[in-house]
Amino acid sequence: MQLTRKTEYAVRTLLELVSRPWGELVQTCEIAETKDIPEPFLNKTIRDLARAGFVETRRGKMGGVRLIKPGDSFTMADVVETIEGPLAINPCLRDSYSCINKSSCSVRQFLMESQARFVEHLNSKTFAELIGQDCEK
């Protein structure tokens, strides 16, 4: 019952990018260093963020990564779902889960609401709003 480290790394990366001037290109090795993330793993994480439209990358000499989604246009929930896929705090909340009682089960309904409260809060602040101090290391 925990977010993955990959999500944590994605969050750190986006915090770093949001805190920089818009449009700035940053080398991944620099992010890896300052945010204490294993570089090859960070590369994969950044690829996920790129595919999802948060950042764009530039290869070759002087390459790097830059934000293309404004920091006030996405939330923690967006990042979590980008990295981990649709949230389901219990197997029975997955679309693919089959159970005779699925639709009528009061426990499932209850867990669905619990999850909704959680996601609701994750959506209550944009990344731009989150940045006051940020969490390194």
Pick one of DNA, a copy of itself, none as the site partner of residue 87 (Cβ within 5 to 8 A by kind): a copy of itself
Is residue 86 close enough to count as binding DNA by CB under 7 A? Answer: no
Q: By CB under 7 A, what part of segment 4-63 binds DNA?
A: 4-6, 27-29, 38, 40-41, 43-44, 46-47, 50-51, 57-63
Nearest CB to DNA, comparing residues 20 and 44:
44
What is the H or E stretch that residue 45 is in? Answer: helix 39-51
Concatenated DSSP letters for 59-105? Answer: -STT-EEEE-S-TTS-BHHHHHHHHH-S--SSGGGSTT---TTTTT-
Nearest CB to DNA, comparing residues 35 and 74:
35
Is residue 76 close enough to count as binding a copy of itself by CB under 8 A? Answer: yes
Binding a copy of itself (rule: CB under 8 A), the pick from 6, 15, 52, 126 is 15
Say if residue 18 is exposed, middle or buried (CB neighbours under 10 Å; 0-12, 13-18, 19+).
buried
Euclidean distance between CA atoms 27 and 59, whole angstroms: 10
Is residue 135 close enough to count as binding a copy of itself by CB under 8 A? Answer: yes
How distant, in Å, are the alpha carbons of 46, 49, 111 from that of 118? 25, 22, 11
Q: What residues make contact with a copy of itself under the rule CB under 8 A? A: 1-5, 8, 11, 15, 76, 80, 84, 87-92, 99-101, 104-108, 110-111, 113-115, 117-118, 120-122, 125, 130-137
